């Protein structure tokens, strides 16, 4: 599970920001919903997960995207748990060099350094054979799921449904539970068909929202079942609010260790009773340096669970929303 993620120097994030998935009582949170105006840095935060994941996995030609005023230096510090252990992992890098890489393991309530490297061309700790190195690699490879390219996830869904007939039945049931009047989903070679009883429709001919849901639903169901952390930018795009709300409710109430980190413009999610104040985050762009600030609704002392967060957000009480004065000048 993800405990905390700190980011500095990546894209619009000049100064360090921290996304905490911890409750005050020490338990982990299942949700983090991030709101903010267009261009305020929501996507920068989510893209940083993908950036670090690709680097830990040792992928080639990962894009280098520092803030233009950061001096080229990007740093990440992620706290996570795996196999009953808690870890902290620090990475500091510039374009051609990993300046610092450190892995900490928590023992007797304190984090102790277990591995460290400086000025290397690649990240070395994930390639190690120690249990802590294997936990690190497994967390980023298996437990952290970034829903990026739909094409990749459509291929994943096809594979799961063709190789695991029992899971295909559950996926079909999930579609039915979400209001789709289908009889079955057939996977034949590299093609997918939605079976409506009297006829079938190729996935490529379905509405974009249906294709998007097919791409991501299998991964979401896997995450809820297996306790993974899903990161998604505007999952609601082309999906009905009721479907997105149900996905959020599933993570909030039925998952065992699963987490959903979602950058979204769906303000109706703020009205869900399942969403608590410490699961709501905001971004805003500040200063002539144009840097992202990330802050939590829980930082507002006068907020309590059960309040109408949607109404107060629309009224601008939390900031992190567009200030619109009009579109066209009168003389245009």
Domains of the chain: which residue ranges? 2-144+272-314
Q: Which two tokens stand for residue 210?
A: 């249906």
- Residues present in the chain in total: 332
Number of H helices, E strands in the chain: 7, 15
- Look at residue 254 in the predicted model and tell me its pLDDT: 72
Biggest alpha carbon–alpha carbon distance for the chain: 69
- pTM for this model (two decimals): 0.94
What is the percent of the chain where pLDDT is above 90? 87
C-alpha distances out from residue 116 to 35, 99, 100, 124, Å: 36, 11, 8, 9
Confidence band for 206, pLDDT divided at 50, 70 and 90: very high
Q: Among 130-134, 139-143, 158-162, 281-285, name the one with the lowest average pLDDT.
A: 158-162
SS3 category, 230 = strand
pLDDT tens digits, 262-274:
999 999 999 999 9
Mean pLDDT over all residues of the chain? Answer: 94
Q: Are 133 and 126 in contact (CB under 8 A)?
A: yes
pLDDT tens digits, 110-144:
999 999 999 999 999 999 999 999 999 999 999 99
CATH topology of domain 2-144+272-314: Rossmann fold (3.40.50)
Please check the confidence at residue 190 and state whether its pLDDT lies above 90.
no
- Look at residue 330 in the predicted model and tell me its pLDDT: 64
Confidence band for 316, pLDDT divided at 50, 70 and 90: very high
Q: Are 78 and 86 in contact (CB under 8 A)?
A: no
pLDDT tens digits, 14-62:
999 999 999 988 899 999 999 999 999 999 999 999 999 999 999 999 9
Cα–Cα dist 201/300, whole Å: 50
Instruction: Provide the CA 150 distance to its chain's centre, in angstroms.
Output: 15
Pairing of strands 17-20, 2-8: antiparallel
Compute the CA torsion angle 90, 93, 99, 105 (nearest 10 deg).
Answer: 10
- Residue whose token pair is 């709101």: 35
Q: Which residue has the higher pLDDT, 235 or 329?
A: 235
Backbone dihedral region for residue 308 (phi beyond 0: left; psi -120 to 50: alpha; all else: beta) = beta
Q: Are 154 and 215 in contact (CB under 8 A)?
A: yes
- Look at residue 24 in the predicted model and tell me its pLDDT: 83
């Amino acid at each position: 599970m993800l405990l905390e993620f700190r980011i500095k120097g990546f894209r619009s994030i000049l100064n360090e920001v921290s996304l905490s998935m911890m409750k005050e009582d020490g338990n982990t949170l299942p949700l983090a919903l991030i709101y903010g105006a267009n261009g305020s840095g929501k996507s920068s935060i989510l893209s940083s997960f993908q950036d670090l994941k690709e680097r830990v996995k040792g992928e080639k030609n990962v894009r280098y995207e520092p803030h233009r005023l950061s001096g080229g230096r990007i740093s990440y510090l992620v706290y996570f748990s795996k196999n009953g252990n808690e870890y902290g992992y620090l990475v500091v890098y510039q374009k051609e060099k990993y300046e610092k890489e450190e892995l900490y393991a928590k023992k007797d309530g304190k984090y102790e350094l277990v591995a460290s490297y400086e000025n290397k061309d690649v990240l070395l700790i994930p390639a190690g054979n120690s249990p802590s190195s294997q936990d690190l690699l497994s967390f980023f490879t298996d437990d952290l799921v970034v829903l990026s390219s739909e094409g990749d996830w459509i291929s994943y869904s096809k594979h799961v449904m063709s190789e695991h007939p029992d899971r295909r039945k559950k996926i079909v049931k999930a579609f039915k539970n979400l209001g789709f009047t289908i009889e079955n989903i057939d996977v034949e070679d590299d093609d997918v068909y939605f079976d409506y009883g009297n006829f079938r429709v190729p996935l490529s001919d379905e509405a974009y929202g249906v294709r998007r849901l097919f791409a991501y639903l299998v991964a979401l169901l896997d995450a809820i079942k297996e306790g993974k952390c899903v990161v998604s930018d505007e999952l609601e795009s082309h999906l009905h609010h009721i479907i997105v709300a149900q996905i959020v409710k599933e993570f909030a109430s039925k998952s065992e260790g699963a987490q959903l980190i979602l950058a979204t413009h769906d303000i109706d999610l703020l009205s869900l009773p399942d969403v608590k104040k410490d699961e709501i985050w905001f971004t805003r762009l500040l200063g002539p340096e144009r840097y992202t600030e990330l802050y939590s609704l829980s930082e507002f002392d006068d907020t309590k669970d059960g309040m109408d967060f949607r109404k107060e957000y629309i009224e601008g009480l939390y900031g992190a929303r567009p200030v619109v004065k009009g579109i066209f000048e009168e003389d245009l």
